[in-house]
Amino acid sequence: MSMEQSLRFPSGGRSGGRVRLILPAGRSAVRISIAAAVLLSAGVACGAAPPVSPAEAFLHEGRLSEGETALLLTLDADPTNDEARFGLGVLQFVQAVERLGQALHEYGVNGQRSGGIFLRLPVPPNEDAEEPSYKEACRVIDLFLADLDRAERTLAGIEDDDVKLRLRLSKITLNLTGDETGRVALIDVLTSLNGGRFEFQEINPDFRVHFDRGDVAWLRAYCHLLSAMGEAVRAVDWEAAYNERTILDSVRLGDPQRLRRARLHVVAVCELNRETWEHIRDETDDDYEWLPHPRQNDQLGLPISDAQIDGWLRMMDQIKGLFTGERLFPSGLIQLGLQNHPAGQGLNVKTLLDDPPTDLMNEGRLRKEGIDPRYLEAEGPDNRFEPLAILGVVQLFSGPFGIARSVRMN
């Protein structure tokens, strides 16, 4: 059953285009281990009320491909429509998660129990699944990376600092099997994780959130974070270990250039974290915020202090310096694992990841020969990585819901 409407796509003060859409009914569901990243991918309609945004309508109905096509057509007609672009990026991000879930289901992988490095999904069991080959497993990761790249590139095109994407998150679902058996309501997953209903469900039952310019940078950062993890996994040749179901003493790199890509993704995460908080701290409204500054209301009931934001950004600056080569990994920390490491010689992580040895993880060689001198540089007060910046964040985010707050920030 479907409903045909003529909708205007607003654009943060610019004139929007008018298109005719077919809005079918339906539902879908998801969960990722980085739970905050999934939350951005959702919206829900209230009864017969019209949707707040075109993207929300498609998210509610689970018609992601149709929504992508409609929003692409809208942008063809009006390339300045950044609300449509924001909605398109969110739809593409949700598609990335949904397609990954369906691939895991096809191969009988339960993400929650698999110990997956960068994503866990509540994929229903598949008794008829055949175990994937190594190449098939690699293909799943590569397709996920391609989907993330498409979403991030879309979001990167947003220029309007006043852009808004109004969504209602309470009943979004994703189809993790390709048929009706794989639908789970997002809010049910969240309340289960929380051990009961959230406080916001009483005062904001629709879980309305109005995402803004800071949240654009936030979602882009999550795309880069997941991509960094995926590229790091794909850089390594795990085939022998995968086929033999054992951990080999020395796993070699299969595609070393992927480590450079992973490094650049990490740098982007750090830069986008600073961009996120620059926009958020400039806000003067209080409009159903997803990531609020301390003087705004938080829809999740997990407020973040200025001290936590400042500490987080100090850590991001240190990590960025490490991955751009402006800071060196301290020799003192290296000596904890390699006693023969020369004092005062820090590790240039950028040089290492951009041109790594194929036996990068050969522990026996490292203990015998140490780190290749071409990756080492003399430490000084201006290029030393400060681990205390990370320890400071651990202290700032200790206590109840500290992990939830830190994961939510990226």
Residue ranges of E strands in 87-176? 165-168, 173-175
Q: How many residues does the chain have?
A: 410
Residue 165 to residue 86: CA distance in whole angstroms: 7
For 238, the token pair is: 């795990």
* Residue 268 confidence class, pLDDT cut points 50, 70, 90: very high
Using the predicted structure, report yes or no on whether residue 32 has a pLDDT greater than 60: no
Give the pLDDT confidence score for residue 404 in this predicted structure.
Answer: 60
* Residue 109 confidence class, pLDDT cut points 50, 70, 90: confident
* Residue 7 confidence class, pLDDT cut points 50, 70, 90: very low
CA 23 to chain centre: 28
Between 120-124, 139-143, 216-220, 224-228, the lowest mean confidence (pLDDT) is in 120-124
Give the pLDDT confidence score for residue 27 in this predicted structure.
Answer: 35
Q: List C-alpha distances in Å: 337 to 22, 316, 340, 362.
A: 61, 25, 9, 13
Residue 306 to residue 313: CA distance in whole angstroms: 11
Give the pLDDT confidence score for residue 147 in this predicted structure.
Answer: 98
In this prediction, residues 48-56 reach a mean pLDDT of 69
* Residue 51 confidence class, pLDDT cut points 50, 70, 90: low
Residue 356 to residue 347: CA distance in whole angstroms: 13
Handedness of CA 109, 110, 113, 115 (dihedral sign): positive
For 244, residues 6+ apart whose C-beta sits below 8 A from its C-beta are none
CA 242 to chain centre: 26
Give the pLDDT confidence score for residue 130 in this predicted structure.
Answer: 87
* Residue 206 confidence class, pLDDT cut points 50, 70, 90: confident
Residue ranges of E strands in 176-285? 183-185, 208-211
In this prediction, residues 376-388 reach a mean pLDDT of 94
Mean confidence (pLDDT) of the chain? 82
- Which three-class secondary structure state does DSSP give residue 131? coil
Using the predicted structure, report yes or no on whether residue 36 has a pLDDT greater than 60: no
- Provide DSSP, 19-84: EEEEEE--------SSHHHHHTT-----TTSPPSSHHHHHHHHT-HHHHHHHHHHHHHH-TT-HHH
Q: What share of the chain has pLDDT > 70, as a percent? A: 77
For 296, the token pair is: 């705004």
Residue found under tokens 């920390």: 333
Q: List C-alpha distances in Å: 208 to 40, 45, 90, 215, 286.
A: 11, 10, 16, 15, 13
Give the pLDDT confidence score for residue 25 in this predicted structure.
Answer: 40
Give the pLDDT confidence score for residue 303 in this predicted structure.
Answer: 82
Residue 168 to residue 93: CA distance in whole angstroms: 17
In this prediction, residues 208-229 reach a mean pLDDT of 96
Give the pLDDT confidence score for residue 13 in this predicted structure.
Answer: 37
More confident residue, 42 or 358: 358
Do the Cβ atoms of 185 and 173 come closer than 8 Å? yes
- Highest mean pLDDT (candidates 106-120, 227-241, 288-302): 227-241
Using the predicted structure, report yes or no on whether residue 233 has a pLDDT greater than 60: yes
Using the predicted structure, report yes or no on whether residue 310 has a pLDDT greater than 50: yes
Q: What is the pLDDT of residues 58-92, one digit of tens each?
A: 988 888 999 999 999 999 999 999 999 999 999 99
* Nearest one of 300, 280, 271 to 213, comparing CA atoms: 280
In this prediction, residues 7-20 reach a mean pLDDT of 37
Angle at 323 between CA 320 and CA 329, to 5 degrees: 100
The residues pairing with 6 across neighbouring beta strands, listed in sequence order, are 20
Using the predicted structure, report yes or no on whether residue 5 has a pLDDT greater than 50: no
For 359, the token pair is: 């036996």
Q: Maximum CA pair distance of the chain?
A: 72
- Which three-class secondary structure state does DSSP give residue 7? strand
* Residue 406 confidence class, pLDDT cut points 50, 70, 90: low
Q: What share of the chain has pLDDT > 90, as a percent? A: 52
Q: What is the pLDDT of residues 143-165, one digit of tens each?
A: 999 999 999 999 999 999 999 99
End-to-end C-alpha distance for the chain, whole angstroms: 39
Count other Cβ atoms within 10 Å, centred on residue 47.
4
Residue ranges of E strands in 79-135? none
In this prediction, residues 136-147 reach a mean pLDDT of 96
Q: What is the pLDDT of residues 167-193, one digit of tens each?
A: 988 877 888 888 877 777 767 656 655
* Residue 50 confidence class, pLDDT cut points 50, 70, 90: very low
For 129, residues 6+ apart whose C-beta sits below 8 A from its C-beta are 105, 106, 107, 108, 109
* Nearest one of 90, 101, 85, 67 to 148, comparing CA atoms: 90
Between 43-47, 65-69, 222-226, 253-257, the lowest mean confidence (pLDDT) is in 43-47
Give the pLDDT confidence score for residue 247 in this predicted structure.
Answer: 66
